[in-house]
Structure 1
Amino acid sequence: MKNEIDIHRALKVFNKITQYGEKRAIESDDDGHLDHDYWLCGMSAQTDHDGYTISLSDAQASLTVFFHNKYQFEYPTNDALDNFLRRFNDIENYQAQ
């Protein structure tokens, strides 16, 4: 299965999560300082310190978008990827209340 995704769609999902999601503190693996992520509709959104790399993840799968629109999926099964992509639809259709 070839994993193709519209990067602009991923960026819109990322923006919606950071705009409407719950901000949570997480411990950074690198320096021990607290970083943060955002959580919405079962999906987490994070960015690196310079904002060039973003990460979207749920309990089983993740998508990392790098500089110049390169990206990498990580998932254990095709079902996990399908569930992850369904969350994209949920977030795209999310209406703030």
Structure 2
Amino acid sequence: MKNELNTAKLLAAFEVVMDKGAKTEFGKMYQGVEASTDYDGYNVYLKGNGVQLHIGFHNTYDLNYDQTHLRDSFLKKLDALVRNTVLDDHH
């Protein structure tokens, strides 16, 4: 996959899930997206609908999925989480 993802937006989506989500065994779940982090916070993970996203140090990322349409809908969902939160905050 050569198209670059906006890691700032991905991290913003992670923050939304961590802020608004319900506790799970690994992290928090919000609107079908689960967010978690490793013990030192250098690696964050977002997953849902058959897609796993790992964001590491220096904004590196690894996106794992079986089907392109699942990846696309997952990324759209993350984008919507960020967009809707900005609208909710009325800034």
TM over 0.5: yes
| TM bracket (short chain) | 0.7 to 0.9
TM superposition score normalised by structure 2: 0.85
Deviation at 1:77, TM superposition (A): 1.1
Structure with greater Cα Rg: 1
Percent of pairs with identical residues:
30
Letter in 2 for 1:22: A
Tell me the CA shift for residue 38 of structure 1. 0.4
Give the counterpart of 1:39 among 29, 33, 39: 29
Task: For residue 89 of structure 1, report the CA deviation from its aligned partner.
Answer: 2.6
Q: For residue 71 of structure 1, what is the aligned residue in structure 2?
A: 61
Q: Does 1:52 align with 2:34?
A: no
By percentage of residues, which structure has more helix?
2
Q: Which runs of 5+ in 1 are unaligned?
A: 27-35
RMSD of Structure 2 on Structure 1 (CA): 1.5
1:61: how far off? 0.5
TM-score by length of 1: 0.81
Give the count of matched residue pairs.
Answer: 86
5+ residue gaps, structure 2: none
